[in-house]
Chains A and B, each alone.
Chain A
Amino acid sequence: MLYIKINDKNYQAKKGQTVLEVCRENKIFIPTLCQHDDLGPSEGVCRMCLVKTNKHRGLVTSCQTGIEEGLEVVTEDFDIEKARRYNLELLWTDHFGKCGSCTSNGNCELQTLAGKLEIDVDDFVPTSQGFTMSEQLKILKESLKNRVVDDKNPSIMRDNQYCIECRRCIKTCQLIQTVDAYGNNYRNIKTNVGTPSEIPLDCIYCGQCVTHCPTAAIVEKSNIKELNEVLLNSDKIKIFQIAPSVRFTAGEAFGLEPGTLVEGKMITALRKMGADLVFDTTFSADLTIVEEANELIEKIKKKLKGEKVAFPMFTSCCPSWVLYIEKYYPELIPNLSSCRSPQGMLSSVIKTYYAETKKIMPENIVNISVMPCTSKKYEAQRPELARNGHQDTDIVITANEFARMVKQKGIDFVDLKEGKFDKALGKSSGAGIIFGSTGGVMEAALRTAYEQITCDELGVLDFKEVRGAKGVKTTEITIPKSHCLAKEIKIKVAVAHEIRNAKKIVEMIKEGDCDFDFVEVMACPSGCLGGGGQPYPVNEKIRAKRRKAIYERDKGLPIRKSHKNPEVKELYEDFLQEPGGHLSEKFLHTKYFDKKKKID
């Protein structure tokens, strides 16, 4: 413990902390724009957090200044106020005048700060009569001549006109995902954040840059317009599905505590907006588990027989992870489970089984999913996930877009009544719910695999080793011998979230010293609950609350095993017959393709 003084008051702090961290802990306000808790040491780019200390000359960035014994910090004085104000004015002048039409209006860190400091908009612009309004605007926006708008991918939309060059996206992509899609282009006033040579964004579409962008420079590619068109003008049947994790996060956009369960309110809101049916993606998460556990068991059986099988088996519900393998390690495609993601499965089941039973033409169905994820927008457009020229999933909106739509329609979300999912594809188990967290798919799969292999009931359902925020979690499960299993077997599993952690396992495979049987990978921090389509700002504290809520929900549910979901059972009895059967193969599984860039 160290003792430091901030604004003449004594505070305790831990060695290695920065001044900013100590101030945040003690609720002392210091504005920041370029700093983000997820991104490690700050770069000191925005100059908002300047403070004075007794050990440094002039103003220093509190985000980069480590504490030491006897440090005395001043966070408010005339110079500091000036430094913040003038720099913010400079940023604001470069950014000015687009709030009304901006998708981040009301959720923009720059706007919030400008509001707090009451920044005027006309600074640094001449006022003399010599200038016409358009000349003034020209002077104001002269720096925007390198405007780049990139909307050539289905998931993420960039417009560097909104960019304040804080570099959070660069660091996010580099540090968390190791994809390195962004960097700085040019220098001086023309400096902008972009892709190499401004090629269209070429990445895994995880959307972490979206949730880490303080402004609207990087946002999800919105499908609100398209959806509104359908809701208002189409006489097709509009079927919504809600992903497991968004029911714990969407409330944040309406001021609710992270982790608040808003499942019922979401259903009601969707019905108000014009949904004909609302199904639960958690149902198909259960379905995924049944298929995936079966696939794993078959592979293990083959391995035990001495056949050559690609191990470990990777989960395939995260489209960014699948795309990462396709783009960077296509040689590992055989390791990916062939199961479609829950979104892919439910959309497919709706347009086949459900359409058949209800005697609806699949073309007359519009499948709309509310997802935690920008990458799901990309997944929905994969050509493999289509039938007769129609994509299985028609429109994907993120939790953020959902919240924006609710607000646009003037629905008082917090006061909504609790709705219920529609029958047939609306029941779910706790195993499906925990899909939303890192380790959840693994835990759900283990619950099912254990019982399927042993034919016995699993006593303790919680696999605590695969829970939590650790980057790579590993454990070994012993499946004891039973009347169905002649000899006990051990299954070694690993769970990784964020590509930087998944990469460790990939490297182990490359080195030839990976003995895992089954590996779950989610590209986003903490899995879907930290997804690129979730409400932001976000940090580990918020994600921890969401995670806690998810596991609590699982605990409270009567059914906690995917294969015990009665509607899943029904689906197999009525339609699919058996896991891994030829109908499953046709409707629930998919193929992957080598998408590695070839250099001639």
Chain B
Amino acid sequence: MKILTKNWKVNQTLRLGEYLKTGGYQALKKVLKKMSPEKVIKEIDKSGLKGRGGGGFFVGQKWKIVFDKKKQQKYFICNLDESEPGNFKDKTLAERSPHQILEGMIIGAYAVGANKAFIYLNGTFKEAGQELEKAIEECYRENLLGENILGSKFDLNLEIFYGAGAYICGEESALINSIEGKRGEPRKKPPYPCDWGLFGKPTVVNNAETLANISWIIENSGNKFSKIGKIDSPGTKLFSIDGAVKNPGLYEAPMNNTVENLIHLAGGVKKGLALKFVQIGGSSGRVIPSGYLSETPSYSSGSEIPIGSGSVLVFSELDDIKKILLSWINFFQRESCGKCVPCREGTFRLKQILERLDNGNFDKNDRQDLPKLIWTLDNTTFCPLGKFSVVAIKDVIKYKMVRELT
């Protein structure tokens, strides 16, 4: 079952002409001609579509909140900051099928009543940026953007905002700060962007992959979508599968696949190697040892393994877990915005300890401090980045994967 990638061509971008041939922008036409914003939101609500950025919030609900804020400037933002290590789904999506994202954005903006939209693009995605620029130009030319889109009364201006590639700017409130020209730091929530977003106005921030689902839902009905995958995590998902697998790459699969199935999608574990553990959802994701592969990652609230942004990193016995832990904490320390004490100082001290773990100097003091730091990062940081930074190490301790930490 494929929704997002069914029309993709190998190493080729779907330009407007081809996108239209495969039924592109039919959903937008339908929306503008026949559907009221309420009806669009109802359809999306019925589909049960959840945000693909990692949080898994109901898209319909988010749109409804912003729709209900009447008579004011509203903004619609597509989050294409994707900087979780091991993830390349949004980037690939923008490179292969930029119009899919744009169509979702235009429909979304129509539904919530926004006439200004931004794509917050990770500035390091050069190719994706070029493809999106071209696609936006095509849209303006064909009246899919601009004033009175396709003869309707709906106007939408859309532009790309190039971020500098900071991880924290993928967090919606930091992303908004960044567009406003401020330091990329998370804001206190509540108020959420739906109430107090860009320039203090109600704002929708949706992940690019989320938006790529919209046109299919409009055309095929929310009901149909809700039957794919798992009951409370409907639809398919893009999985960035990488590491010790035969064919690393981007795969689309319904959200009812076990970890084992996902590894099979990529051709299974590389020949001659034995799987040691898998990490789901990037560096902030859970680490699962080889004995637990029958779990199904999803957005369901009760799910043992949150699917996060959908990356599957497969590690073999060639990989040194200590080095991997160190590289993750290096990542989180580097990307900490420096706003709150526990994240700024804590990730740094944790990094020092993991360095000592790696070079054999881990001592009894470190053994005492490590649980303190993990608890502090897990419970006291301003935004979830602190929590994210210790997910992996918590699993490593839980599954006794490193001798010194047992």
Contacts A124-B353, A139-B352 supplied; 6 other A-B pairs, CB < 8 Å: A45-B339, A90-B349, A126-B363, A165-B341, A187-B336, A188-B335
The distance in angstroms between the C-alpha atoms of A424 and B345, with both chains bound, is 59
Please give the residue numbers on chain B whose beta carbons come within 8 Å of chain A beta carbons, in ascending order: 166, 183, 188, 333-342, 344-349, 352-353, 356, 361, 363-366, 369, 372-373, 375-376, 379-382
Please give the residue numbers on chain A whose beta carbons come within 8 Å of chain B beta carbons, in ascending order: 43-47, 50, 58-59, 64, 79, 82-83, 86-87, 89-91, 93-94, 123-128, 130-131, 139, 142-143, 164-165, 183-184, 186-191
Distance between B279 CB and nearest chain A CB, rounded to angstroms: 23
Distance between A220 CB and nearest chain B CB, rounded to angstroms: 27
User: From A140, which residue of chain B is reached at the shortest CB distance?
Assistant: B352
User: From A87, which residue of chain B is reached at the shortest CB distance?
Assistant: B341
CB <8 Å contact, A125 and B338:
no
The distance in angstroms between the C-alpha atoms of A335 and B140, with both chains bound, is 54
Distance between A78 CB and nearest chain B CB, rounded to angstroms: 11
Which residues of chain B have C-beta atoms less than 8 A from A44's C-beta?
188, 340, 382
Q: Could you list some 12 contacts between A and B, CB below 8 A?
A: A44-B382, A59-B380, A83-B380, A124-B373, A127-B365, A128-B365, A130-B363, A183-B183, A184-B338, A186-B338, A187-B335, A188-B348
CB <8 Å contact, B361 and A188:
no
CB <8 Å contact, A127 and B363:
yes
CB <8 Å contact, A125 and B341:
no
Which of A44, A124, A186 gathers the greatest number of chain B CB atoms within 10 Å? A124
Distance between B386 CB and nearest chain A CB, rounded to angstroms: 10
The distance in angstroms between the C-alpha atoms of A47 and B188, with both chains bound, is 13
CB <8 Å contact, B379 and A128:
no
Distance between B15 CB and nearest chain A CB, rounded to angstroms: 38
The distance in angstroms between the C-alpha atoms of A90 and B343, with both chains bound, is 10
The residue from B356, B365, B376 contacting A86, defined by CB atoms under 8 A apart: B376
CB <8 Å contact, A64 and B188:
yes
CB <8 Å contact, A47 and B341:
yes
CB <8 Å contact, B372 and A86:
yes
CB <8 Å contact, B379 and A189:
no
Which residues of chain B have C-beta atoms less than 8 A from A189's C-beta?
333, 336, 338, 344-345, 347-348
The distance in angstroms between the C-alpha atoms of A165 and B341, with both chains bound, is 8
The distance in angstroms between the C-alpha atoms of A91 and B338, with both chains bound, is 13
CB <8 Å contact, B361 and A126:
yes
The residue from A59, A127, A131 contacting B379, defined by CB atoms under 8 A apart: A59
The distance in angstroms between the C-alpha atoms of A79 and B349, with both chains bound, is 20
Distance between B14 CB and nearest chain A CB, rounded to angstroms: 37
The distance in angstroms between the C-alpha atoms of A83 and B372, with both chains bound, is 9
User: From B361, which residue of chain A is reached at the shortest CB distance?
Assistant: A130
Distance between A197 CB and nearest chain B CB, rounded to angstroms: 15
CB <8 Å contact, A91 and B337:
no
CB <8 Å contact, B380 and A93:
no
CB <8 Å contact, A90 and B345:
yes
**Closest 5 pairs (CB-CB, A-B):** A191-B338, A90-B345, A128-B363, A189-B348, A86-B376
CB <8 Å contact, A47 and B380:
yes
The residue from A47, A58, A126, A183 contacting B365, defined by CB atoms under 8 A apart: A126
Distance between A44 CB and nearest chain B CB, rounded to angstroms: 6
The distance in angstroms between the C-alpha atoms of A130 and B380, with both chains bound, is 32
Contacts A124-B352, A126-B366 given; indicate if A79 touches B379 (C-beta within 8 A): yes
Which residues of chain A have C-beta atoms less than 8 A from B375's C-beta?
82, 86
Which residues of chain B have C-beta atoms less than 8 A from A126's C-beta?
356, 361, 363, 365-366
Which residues of chain B have C-beta atoms less than 8 A from A184's C-beta?
183, 338
CB <8 Å contact, A128 and B338:
no
CB <8 Å contact, B345 and A94:
yes
Which residues of chain B have C-beta atoms less than 8 A from A90's C-beta?
341-342, 345-346, 349, 376
User: From A142, which residue of chain B is reached at the shortest CB distance?
Assistant: B352
The distance in angstroms between the C-alpha atoms of A44 and B365, with both chains bound, is 30
Which residues of chain A have C-beta atoms less than 8 A from B348's C-beta?
143, 188-189
Which residues of chain B have C-beta atoms less than 8 A from A123's C-beta?
369
Distance between B188 CB and nearest chain A CB, rounded to angstroms: 6
The distance in angstroms between the C-alpha atoms of A344 and B166, with both chains bound, is 51
The distance in angstroms between the C-alpha atoms of A143 and B344, with both chains bound, is 10
CB <8 Å contact, A188 and B379:
no
Which residues of chain B have C-beta atoms less than 8 A from A125's C-beta?
365
CB <8 Å contact, B380 and A190:
no
The distance in angstroms between the C-alpha atoms of A47 and B345, with both chains bound, is 12
The residue from A59, A82, A83, A93 contacting B349, defined by CB atoms under 8 A apart: A93
CB <8 Å contact, A47 and B361:
no
CB <8 Å contact, A91 and B188:
no
Distance between A94 CB and nearest chain B CB, rounded to angstroms: 6
Which residues of chain B have C-beta atoms less than 8 A from A50's C-beta?
380
The distance in angstroms between the C-alpha atoms of A184 and B177, with both chains bound, is 14
User: From B336, which residue of chain A is reached at the shortest CB distance?
Assistant: A188
The distance in angstroms between the C-alpha atoms of A94 and B346, with both chains bound, is 11
User: From A82, which residue of chain B is reached at the shortest CB distance?
Assistant: B375
CB <8 Å contact, A45 and B341:
yes
The distance in angstroms between the C-alpha atoms of A130 and B356, with both chains bound, is 11
Contacts A90-B376, A126-B356, A126-B361 given; indicate if A47 touches B338 (C-beta within 8 A): no
The distance in angstroms between the C-alpha atoms of A90 and B336, with both chains bound, is 15
User: From A64, which residue of chain B is reached at the shortest CB distance?
Assistant: B188
The distance in angstroms between the C-alpha atoms of A130 and B353, with both chains bound, is 14
Which of B341, B361, B381 gathers the greatest number of chain A CB atoms within 10 Å? B341
The distance in angstroms between the C-alpha atoms of A159 and B324, with both chains bound, is 37
User: From A130, which residue of chain B is reached at the shortest CB distance?
Assistant: B361
Which residues of chain A have C-beta atoms less than 8 A from B379's C-beta?
58-59, 79, 83
Which of B346, B353, B381 gathers the greatest number of chain A CB atoms within 10 Å? B346
The distance in angstroms between the C-alpha atoms of A46 and B340, with both chains bound, is 6
The distance in angstroms between the C-alpha atoms of A125 and B366, with both chains bound, is 8
Which residues of chain A have C-beta atoms less than 8 A from B341's C-beta?
45-47, 87, 90-91, 164-165
The distance in angstroms between the C-alpha atoms of A94 and B379, with both chains bound, is 20
Distance between A513 CB and nearest chain B CB, rounded to angstroms: 28
Distance between A140 CB and nearest chain B CB, rounded to angstroms: 9
User: From A124, which residue of chain B is reached at the shortest CB distance?
Assistant: B349
Which residues of chain A have C-beta atoms less than 8 A from B338's C-beta?
165, 184, 186-191
The distance in angstroms between the C-alpha atoms of A124 and B345, with both chains bound, is 11
CB <8 Å contact, B366 and A87:
no
User: From B360, which residue of chain A is reached at the shortest CB distance?
Assistant: A130
Which of A79, A82, A89, A187 gathers the greatest number of chain B CB atoms within 10 Å? A187
The distance in angstroms between the C-alpha atoms of A130 and B334, with both chains bound, is 27
Which residues of chain A have C-beta atoms less than 8 A from B353's C-beta?
124
CB <8 Å contact, B344 and A188:
yes
The distance in angstroms between the C-alpha atoms of A520 and B382, with both chains bound, is 42
The distance in angstroms between the C-alpha atoms of A123 and B370, with both chains bound, is 11
Distance between A38 CB and nearest chain B CB, rounded to angstroms: 19
The distance in angstroms between the C-alpha atoms of A59 and B379, with both chains bound, is 7
Which residues of chain A have C-beta atoms less than 8 A from B369's C-beta?
123-124
Distance between A165 CB and nearest chain B CB, rounded to angstroms: 7
Which residues of chain B have C-beta atoms less than 8 A from A82's C-beta?
372, 375-376
The distance in angstroms between the C-alpha atoms of A47 and B353, with both chains bound, is 22
Distance between B263 CB and nearest chain A CB, rounded to angstroms: 34
Contacts A45-B341, A47-B341, A86-B372 given; indicate if A128 touches B364 (C-beta within 8 A): yes
The residue from A47, A127, A183 contacting B342, defined by CB atoms under 8 A apart: A47
Which residues of chain B have C-beta atoms less than 8 A from A58's C-beta?
379
Which residues of chain A have C-beta atoms less than 8 A from B337's C-beta?
187-188, 191
Which residues of chain B have C-beta atoms less than 8 A from A83's C-beta?
376, 379-380
Distance between A388 CB and nearest chain B CB, rounded to angstroms: 50
User: From B346, which residue of chain A is reached at the shortest CB distance?
Assistant: A90
Which residues of chain B have C-beta atoms less than 8 A from A45's C-beta?
339-341, 382
